[in-house]
Structure 1
Amino acid sequence: MENFIGSHMIYTYENGWEYEIYIKNDHTIDYRIHSGMVGGRWVRDQEVNIVKLTEGVYKVSWTEPTGTDVSLNFMPNEKRMHGIIFFPKWVHEHPEITVCYQNDYIDVMKESREKYDTYPKYVVPEFADITYLNNAGINNEALISEAPYEGMTDDIRAGKLK
């Protein structure tokens, strides 16, 4: 898995949503959501399960404090990814609550999870194209250290932001 750990990727789902992920180490990711239902959301130090399924194929899975479950299959050699996101009903109906730096609002996420309905889940299964791939090393605390802004992914791809 040493080829995958440290990967910094930007990917665009077929529905147009653009996400960024950094595989920080063998059990933690940082990520930013640049567009889509919860565009503007960003998270650091999310605990995840990472496995190598076969040569060049990796699965990253986790449950967020919102109650959202995520499972992503990365195929970096093909610059493709398939993800499935299971949004609780409350996130689908009130996505604006989650559009923040989650680490500062864990209590709000937990309160919302208790206050609003979680079922039925809003399931989003999508393929994505990886439009940026770089290895940023392990535990790079500077990489995802600010909120997403319009044009950020273009700046990253152009080498203006690392």
Structure 2
Amino acid sequence: MAELNNLDKKFKTLDDFLGTHFIYTYDNGWEYEWYAKNDHTVDYRIHGGMVSGRWVKDQEANIVMLVPGIYKVAWTEPTGTDVALDFVPNEHKLNGTIFFPKWVQEHPEITVTFQNEHIDLMEESREKYETYPKMVVPEFATMTYIGDAGQNNDEVINEEPYNGMPDDIRAGKFYDENYNRISK
């Protein structure tokens, strides 16, 4: 059975991290929802910031444990955006650096969609518009939700983001005790 909003969870191993669902807010106010789906893929939704409304499933990523309880996750998106995240969940902290190509900074609306259905558009835009200089966004974040969703749970990131979704998740109004979507 899944544990909803378990901010007291203690992380020691990579297995403790895999299958975990997080909501965190960067110091700049951008709010993200992120799920360690398994040892090589992540799903996420973006709830605040310049690409708010974007969501992605099955993003290939490099996921490693640096030392017990500290994890590094990095990937390159079809947009050309590079992401490097350092999770310190026992402290409810994260440090992330996002490297946005120039075209994403100038045309963020192109990316605000369910990326999986628009990979061709992301790749076409990456070739059509300028990539450099990249916009580098290094930020610390505070975790406001830690859920034990289990690995390979396609119910975690299961629909497009809406206003108030993170609050609904934190309040227990989005998932049931088995981490299935509660009917709207």
1:137 counterpart residue number: 150
Superposed displacement of residue 134, structure 1? 1.1
TM-score by length of 2: 0.87
Where structure 2 has 5 or more consecutive residues not aligned to the other structure, the ranges are 1-13, 176-184
Q: Which SS does the other structure have where 2:90 is aligned? A: helix
2:116 counterpart residue number: 103
> Greater share of strand residues, 1 or 2?
1
- Does residue 121 in structure 1 map to residue 134 in structure 2? yes
Superposed displacement of residue 55, structure 1? 1.3
Aligned length: 162
Moved over 3 A (4+): none
Which of 75, 100, 112 is the equivalent residue of 2:125?
Answer: 112
| CA distance in structure 2 between the partners assigned to 1:56 and 1:25 by the alignment | 17
1:21 counterpart residue number: 34
1:153 counterpart residue number: 166
1:30 counterpart residue number: 43
2:82 counterpart residue number: 69
Where structure 1 has 5 or more consecutive residues not aligned to the other structure, the ranges are none
**Cα-Cα RMSD:** 0.4
Q: Deviations over 1:3-41 (max 9, x none)?
A: 000010000000000000010000001000001010000
TM-score by length of 1: 0.99
| CA distance in structure 2 between the partners assigned to 1:9 and 1:144 by the alignment | 11
